[in-house]
Amino acid sequence: MTDRSGPISVLCVDGEPDMAALVGERVARSDDRITTTVATSARAGLTRLEAGDVDCVVSDYDMPGMDGIEFLEAVRATHPDLPFILFTAGGSEAVASDAISAGATDYVRRDANDDPYATLARRVRAAVDQYRARPPTTGSPDVARTVLEASPDAILVGVDGDCVFANAAAVDQFGAADDDALRGHSVAALLGSADADDDERATDAGVTWERRMIRALDGTAFPADVTRRAVSWGGQDATVVIVRALAERVSGDHERARYRTAFEQAMDAMVIADDGGTYVEANRSAVELFGLPRGQLLGSHVSDFAPADYDFGAEWEAFKQGGLDRGTFPLLRPDGERRIVEYAATAEISPGEHLSVLRDVTERERLEEQLLTERDTLREIYEIIATREMGFQTKIRRLLDVGREFLGVPYGFLTEIDGDTQHIVAACGDHELLQPGESCPLSEAYCRKTITREELVTVQNATLEGLSSDPAYERFDLGCYVGSKVLVDGELYGTFCFAGTEPRADAFSEAERTFVELLAQWVSYELERDQVTAELEAQNERLEEFASMVSHDLRSPLSVAQGYLELAREDGDPEQFDRVRDAHERMGRLIDDLLYLAREGEEIGETEPVALRDAVERAWATVEDGSSAALAVGDDLGTVVADPDRLQQLLENLFSNAIEHGGPDVTVRVTALEGGFAVTDDGPGIPADLRAEVFERGVSTVESGSGFGLHIVREIVDGHGWRVDVTDGPEGGARFEITDVDVT
């Protein structure tokens, strides 16, 4: 008899190396008789058993490749009586029942409330003592039959390639009437092998495992995990074959149906690959993701969908060794489309099978990238706008450059619309017709559409949108375009646009449209600010001019008046008082003109169509004041677009200048010109050497003049955008020609 008090050698098997070592150490510490050996997989455990010297096996249930029940069945095939204790935290009552049915000696839960390792040590000692107390097993087939019959998995025993034993589960699995219907059949044929020597070669390696399609006697095929082990059967070399149908991994028909439905209907793509990386199963979502029919997807290789630089061998081996992997992966579909997938992969969900759950995150990745791009672009725009040292034109060019990069187009430009003409003010890109200084008729530009619509104008594909015969397309050859109006104080200034020769693959997004609108609004704001700044500078200049005039130009007639007043006091000459009166009158005119310049300057109010003849007659009625001067008005003076009050002031000053220089009998004529009108008198005229100066402040050819009348005329002309020239009249007097006027 075996010494029941002798040392006990325990083989601890667990898929987690650290846990296997912990179990071995804790059990050994609990009993001085126990020594332990560790194996980190069921296959390694079977190999260790071949070496002998094992009194008891302690195994976890949840292990990759072969679970605890499968491992137990493989052990029982060659060691029918060896103590085998299932020690697991992942089990249940159903697992315990299956373990006992399969021939487990005992079952201990790792998560028990008391000390589970001390309990395990006691159970090991008791099982080994009982095992040693029994007489040794003879190795008779009858003993093995008893053990194998209890297994819930199909088990075949083959001698010389023929089946000599089949348990009840095998009879059911293969659809046989009884075990006699299986005995005598070739084991290789029952396993679906085309090679009769396949079984012999497989068992040469000791214990083997593989997944294959098994065909029942009625022709029904089913996938199964097949484990084979060489044994002695009645003194003959034999092979024990354990066949576990894959569907049996989920107990019961209802559970199997639920499992299959969950797999097939999952929103995420799910694929199963074998050890070599070939896809052997895929659900409906995977078929859609990969863009292949299921029949073509199955049998494809993982690397078939990977980039060219993907090192499949190293990555795949690392994954199988690590057991888990997750991350993102660029998936290349057969149609050339590139998808970004997020994956979570688990190795050995069953022996030789590796599950990957894939989720298409292409759109999410695109949106994240777009948000990052938008954030960086807005930051760059802010830095440009906030740089005070940078001039307006430089900022515009920088913004156009940032904008075309953001939109993915080669051209960006700012235009100014002047009547029926488009002028390029600033631009980026090498389009020869879209450069600063270039102009074209508005009718031949996309901008004509931009300025007539409230919303942004976009063109994704000019040809597909029926614009191939549009004048703008024919002139600029732009396949895509986006443009926004630029307003200054509510009035149209021009457009802010981006374009490309090639059409865009996608329509301009809401974010891109908003981006263009924001830039156009900023340009409007900057132009308005520049305009306000220019107006303030002009006002300051007028105030300085006013101060200068008050301090200088009024001092002269005031001094004259004071001098003549002193003379009048001394000799009582009435002529001296007349001269004082004339000086005071000149000061009055100076004050009126100075106030006018200070208040108005070049500033023009609301313009409207004004009948020029009516304006002439009103101005003459104000100036003539009972003198004998005559007015002659030509025909077809037409209507001009002007500020009515400022136009009348202009005419009054010209008429006053004619009377002041030509005398009370002067004749003034107002005649039409092409694009304007002329005011001519028959007075002495203006000397040629003074014509360049007569519009300057304080210049007059008569002593009584203020020197501001014609200066005000030029201010009003400039404010309207007109032109004034002085020349000789046909009768020798002065002729003032006002041109560049919008006359209808």
Pairing outcome for strands 269-273 and 353-360: antiparallel
- In this predicted structure, the answer to whether residue 159 has a pLDDT above a threshold of 50 is yes
> How far is it, in rounded angstroms, from Cα 344 to Cα 357?
5
Q: Helix H segments across 485-610?
A: 510-552, 555-571, 574-599
The H or E element spanning position 727 is: strand 723-728
Structure tokens at 442: 């508005």
Nearest C-alpha neighbor of 122 from the set 111, 103, 106 = 106
Looking at residue 57, what DSSP letter applies? E
User: What pLDDT score does 623 carry?
Assistant: 81
Nearest C-alpha neighbor of 169 from the set 182, 158, 159 = 182
Confidence label for 244 from pLDDT (cuts 50, 70 and 90):
confident
- Ranges 17-31, 80-94, 458-472, 677-691: which has the least confidence: 80-94
> How far is it, in rounded angstroms, from Cα 348 to Cα 15?
11
Q: What is the pLDDT of residues 3-54, one digit of tens each?
A: 566 899 999 999 888 888 999 999 999 888 999 999 988 888 888 888 888 9
Percent of the chain exceeding pLDDT 70 equals 82
Residues contacting residue 290 through CB under 8 Å, at least 6 positions apart: 269, 282, 297, 300, 305, 331, 333, 334
> How far is it, in rounded angstroms, from Cα 435 to Cα 499?
13
Looking at residue 1, what DSSP letter applies? -
User: What pLDDT score does 436 carry?
Assistant: 93
User: What pLDDT score does 249 carry?
Assistant: 45
Question: For residue 663, how many other CB atoms are within 10 A of its CB?
Answer: 15
Average per-residue pLDDT for the chain: 82
Using CB atoms within 10 A of its CB, is residue 681 exposed (0-12), middle (13-18) or buried (19+)? buried
Using CB atoms within 10 A of its CB, is residue 338 exposed (0-12), middle (13-18) or buried (19+)? exposed
> How far is it, in rounded angstroms, from Cα 335 to Cα 332?
8
- Ranges 17-26, 135-144, 721-730: which has the least confidence: 135-144
User: What pLDDT score does 333 carry?
Assistant: 92
Q: What is the pLDDT of residues 45-94, one digit of tens each?
A: 888 888 888 999 999 988 877 888 888 988 887 788 899 999 887 555 66
Confidence label for 556 from pLDDT (cuts 50, 70 and 90):
low
All structural domains of the chain, each given as residue ranges with its CATH number in brackets, are 8-137 (3.40.50.2300), 142-249 (3.30.450.20), 253-360 (3.30.450.20), 367-531 (3.30.450.40), 600-739 (3.30.565.10)
Confidence label for 411 from pLDDT (cuts 50, 70 and 90):
very high
User: What pLDDT score does 194 carry?
Assistant: 54
> How far is it, in rounded angstroms, from Cα 34 to Cα 27?
7
User: What pLDDT score does 551 carry?
Assistant: 52
Q: What is the pLDDT of residues 277-308, one digit of tens each?
A: 999 889 999 999 999 988 888 888 998 998 88
Percent of the chain exceeding pLDDT 90 equals 26
Residue keyed to tokens 């080669």: 410
> How far is it, in rounded angstroms, from Cα 392 to Cα 385?
9
- In this predicted structure, the answer to whether residue 251 has a pLDDT above a threshold of 50 is no
Kindly report each contact of residues 334-337 with a partner whose C-beta sits within 8 Å and lies 24 or more positions away, as own/partner: 334/290, 334/291, 334/292, 335/291, 337/291
Instruction: Tell me what percent of the chain is helix, strand and coil, each rounded to the nearest 5.
Output: 45, 25, 30
Per DSSP, the residues of 364-409 read: HHHHHHHHHHHHHHHHHHHHHHH-TTS-HHHHHHHHHHHHHHHHT-
The H or E element spanning position 124 is: helix 116-133
